[in-house]
Amino acid sequence: MNQDILTDIIAHKRKEIAIQEAAVSASFLENHIGGTTVTRSMKQSLTASSTGIIAEFKRRSPSKGWINCEADASIVPHNYELAGAAALSILTDELFFGGSLKDIRNARPTVNIPVLRKDFIISRYQLLQAKVAQADAVLLIAAALSKDECMSLAKEAHALQLEVLLEIHTEQETDYINEYVDMIGVNNRNLGTFHTDTENSFRLAEKLPKDKVLVSESGISNPETVIKLREAGFRGFLIGENFMKTENPGKALNEFINQLQSAL
């Protein structure tokens, strides 16, 4: 396993964006934003939810390979909503995660809950893509950006009425938190090595501002962990692989939420 897969992903992402922008200009996307005025607040949805599950649609990962290559974005997200998800995370990276913006476009008509575009966002162009695809929020990853880039992209996301989930992994990255960040995600998975440890969320919880909605990402596989994380101040719990590796991700989420609610 490459010790720094993030470097490879970002290098490829730059090439990918250049090709996409050559095919479809930023101004073309801007002209097609008009019809995407409905926005659903992911921050409010997580705050109001008793469980706070952000169910993720993910076909593969760089560390595990294919998880669910046949997964249908017009079916699984809808089933996630029926099962009680507070929000959806849809991976749109193609090379490393087997996703695309088409997955958001296919899911959107089938769901009424907020959709997060999860990708390695390094350009305003990707924010425009997210808006046209009718995402409600975008992920910004501190490890993939400079502080200035993070501030600029977060500000631009707000101008496009997209909420921002800032993902951090270390205490040093708390410096990336700015006024345009709506939610702070603590990634329990190291993006360089892909080692996962949920203790990372507990370690960082007390270092994070109390006025932001906190999200714990990756490595959550049982309701007891969610309960402990809620006690530590988290309101969102991003879970994907745990559900996607099953034959029926929506059913797996439903069972997880039932266990969680009976334990709360």
Residue 133 has pLDDT above 50, yes or no: yes
Q: How many CB atoms lie within 10 A of CB 168?
A: 25
Round the average pLDDT of the chain to a whole number and report it: 94
Instruction: Report d(CA 84, CA 113) in Å as an integer.
Output: 10
Q: What's the CA gap between 122 and 257, in Å, rounded? A: 34
What integer is the mean pLDDT of 34-63?
90
Average pLDDT in the 181-210 region?
A: 90
pLDDT in tens, 251-263: 999 999 999 999 8
Q: What is residue 190's predicted lDDT score, i.e. its pLDDT? A: 76
Instruction: Please report the beta strands in the chain, taking only residues with DSSP state E, as ranges in sequence order.
Output: 53-57, 60-61, 65-66, 87-91, 115-118, 137-141, 163-168, 183-187, 213-217, 234-239
pLDDT of residue 189: 84
Give residue-wise pLDDT tens across range 78-115. Answer: 999 999 999 999 999 999 999 999 999 999 999 999 99
pLDDT tens digits along 14-43: 999 999 999 999 999 999 887 656 789 999
Select the more confidently predicted residue: 21 or 197.
21
* Model confidence band, residue 1 (pLDDT cutoffs 50, 70, 90): very low
pTM comes to 0.95
